């Protein structure tokens, strides 16, 4: 322990140690190179050590005495939520210790098929109800890709006459089917079966959402990675023309990156470093023989893309991630659409967990694949409930005098403060400034209630859920207030204001969950994940 001057108070000593941690963080970029694996490991092991130190202190020093009362129930519940969140953060730290960059690999294998002819490629644009302006841009982009043997197909589950006319005008094939069973996955499977029945199967095929426009070199860069015959699918990052709802509503589109940047720029390369990169639906290219081997796109989850990568991996076929901006599309334009999309990702992951390729099921997945799915599960089950608890649990103090976290300020500074400062600094260093406290937290908490509801529905009733399409090309000139989405937070705010004015008497100082929840926003987890999907 570092000896500090004896005349300093206990609080001052703790604050001084926190400032020392801040100083170390400031100096890190001068001595460490995050491109080197050993340096990344050192940084992240430090974060993990402080996380374990913090959660041990929380479990041994801050909980209410065991008993059948509200204090213990509230204190224990919050601790369990935080424990799940900390475990997810530790998983993220381990994941980020590795990363893979395939840029040189794609360049060196640009024409691996030579001296033979280049492989045949089909570009499939899946659409349902997108507007004409959105689709025209995507179709024109697809027919402009630089590839000698390519066919563009528009898979129209909306069965629109104007789209058939537009496709005919541009020599693009317009494909429809009699029903919309299994949504996007069913749409693609129908088109692939049609091509095979005609004896016109391609060697590779690309999948684009209706709003995504490929760059001219999209296929030349992606197909290069199929020189490795164990690669079944190549995924590229999603970039966007427009600001996402958080950027737009806060007026930060020029100064704050879109919410998906951390996932695509840092999490996916790290996943690829571990061999567990995942398909994210659009902007991907797949080997035809690989899809035929697994029997087509899986339809057991509304996030068929994530499940597709797991199905491929079970057969020994990997997903490669090429971190180059090769397509651009539209981010969800309204807060409602934004939340619907993320709730669907959460629901789909829960369906995967409950299905044949879940992390606890008997299947052919490797241990690291199971760990990858479990990590995503922890993200959805830990991050959002813990964030919401950070807003709701202080009410227990205001109205009932319940001390949820019984801690002294010096201890909070010494344990939580040190962890917060170091983890925030390390994550910002690794992410090159894309993880910003409060702003990152807003993007997560805005959809907490629908996402928690989706998690419960997916775990308890995994089957029978319809695929909800994310609307694109909306009008941002109108002001739309999402009252239904806002209502839980308006109620919490009203109760907090009322409670703070007439708080239950207590001689103890409450360390509310709003403070302890802040550690999570610096862990840098974005989604999707699944995280994407």
Indicate which residues carry an active-site annotation: 157, 305
Angle at 358 (CA atoms; ends 353, 360), nearest 5 degrees: 110
Closest to 399 measured CA to CA, from 489, 490, 487, 494: 494
| The pairing of beta strand 204-209 with beta strand 121-127 | parallel
SS3 string, 381-450, reads: HHHHHHHHHHHHCHHHHHHHCCCCCCCCHHHHHHHHHHHHHHHHHHHHHHHCCCCCCCHHHHHHHCCHHH
Distance of alpha carbon 524 from alpha carbon 527, whole angstroms: 10
Angle at 330 (CA atoms; ends 334, 160), nearest 5 degrees: 95
Whether 347 and 302 have beta carbons less than 8 Å apart is answered as yes
Helix and strand counts by DSSP (H, E) for the chain: 24, 11
Angle at 441 (CA atoms; ends 436, 446), nearest 5 degrees: 140
Is residue 74 within a helix (H) or strand (E), and if so which, with residue range? helix 70-95
Cα-Cα-Cα-Cα dihedral of 416, 417, 419, 425, to 10°?
A: 150
List phi, psi (to 5°) of 70: -65, -35
Closest to 431 measured CA to CA, from 143, 47, 163: 47
Closest to 285 measured CA to CA, from 231, 339, 244, 211: 231
On the question of a cis peptide bond just before residue 186, with omega within 30 degrees of 0, the verdict is: no
C-alpha pair distances (Å), 250 with each of 246, 254, 256, 304, 352: 6, 11, 10, 32, 35
Whether 231 and 287 have beta carbons less than 8 Å apart is answered as yes
Give the Cβ contact number of residue 38 at 10 Å. 10
């Amino acid at each position: 322990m570092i000896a500090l001057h004896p005349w300093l108070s206990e609080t001052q000593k703790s604050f001084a140690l926190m400032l020392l941690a801040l100083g170390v963080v400031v100096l890190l970029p001068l001595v460490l190179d995050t491109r080197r694996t050993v340096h990344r490991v050192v940084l992240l092991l430090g974060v993990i050590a402080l996380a374990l130190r913090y959660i041990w202190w929380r479990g041994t020093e801050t909980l209410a005495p065991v008993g059948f009362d509200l204090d213990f129930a509230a204190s224990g519940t919050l601790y369990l939520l935080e424990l799940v969140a900390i475990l997810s953060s530790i998983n993220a730290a381990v994941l980020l210790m590795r990363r893979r960059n395939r840029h040189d690999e794609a360049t060196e294998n640009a024409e691996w098929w030579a001296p033979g002819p280049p492989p045949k490629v089909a570009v499939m644009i899946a659409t349902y109800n997108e507007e004409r302006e959105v689709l025209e841009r995507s179709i024109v982009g697809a027919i402009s890709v630089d590839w000698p043997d390519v066919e563009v197909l528009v898979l129209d589950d909306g069965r629109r006459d104007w789209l058939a006319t537009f496709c005919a005008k541009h020599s693009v094939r317009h494909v429809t089917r009699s029903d919309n069973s299994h949504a996007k996955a069913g749409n693609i499977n129908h088109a692939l079966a049609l091509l095979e029945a005609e004896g016109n199967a391609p060697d590779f095929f690309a999948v684009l959402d209706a709003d995504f426009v490929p760059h001219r070199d999209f296929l030349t860069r992606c197909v290069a990675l199929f020189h490795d015959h164990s690669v079944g699918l190549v995924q590229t990052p999603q970039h966007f023309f427009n600001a996402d709802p958080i950027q737009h509503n806060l007026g930060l589109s020029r100064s704050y990156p879109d919410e998906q940047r951390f996932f695509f720029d840092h999490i996916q390369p790290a996943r690829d470093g571990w061999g567990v990169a995942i398909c994210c639906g659009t902007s991907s290219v797949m080997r035809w023989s690989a899809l035929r081997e697994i029997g087509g796109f899986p339809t057991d989850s509304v996030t068929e893309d994530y499940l597709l990568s797991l199905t491929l991996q079970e057969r020994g076929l990997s997903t490669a991630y090429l971190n180059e901006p090769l397509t651009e599309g539209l981010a969800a334009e309204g807060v409602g659409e934004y939340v619907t999309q993320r709730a669907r990702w959460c629901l789909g992951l829960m369906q995967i967990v409950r299905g044949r390729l879940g992390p606890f099921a008997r299947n052919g997945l490797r241990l690291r694949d199971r760990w990858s799915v479990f990590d995503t599960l922890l993200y959805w089950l830990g991050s959002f409930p813990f964030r919401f608890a950070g807003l709701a649990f202080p009410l227990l103090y205001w109205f009932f005098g319940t001390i949820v976290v019984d801690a002294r300020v010096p201890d909070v500074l010494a344990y939580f403060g040190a962890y917060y400062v170091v983890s925030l600094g390390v994550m910002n260093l690794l992410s090159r400034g894309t993880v910003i406290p409060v702003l990152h937290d807003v993007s997560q908490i805005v959809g907490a209630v629908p996402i928690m509801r989706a998690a419960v529905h997916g775990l308890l009733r995994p089957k029978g859920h319809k695929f909800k399409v994310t609307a694109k090309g909306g009008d941002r000139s109108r002001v739309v207030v999402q009252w239904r989405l806002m209502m839980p937070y308006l109620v919490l705010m009203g109760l907090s204001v009322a409670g703070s004015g007439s708080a239950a008497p207590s001689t103890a100082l409450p360390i509310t969950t709003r403070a302890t929840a802040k550690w999570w926003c610096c862990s840098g987890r974005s989604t999707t994940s699944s995280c994407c999907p």
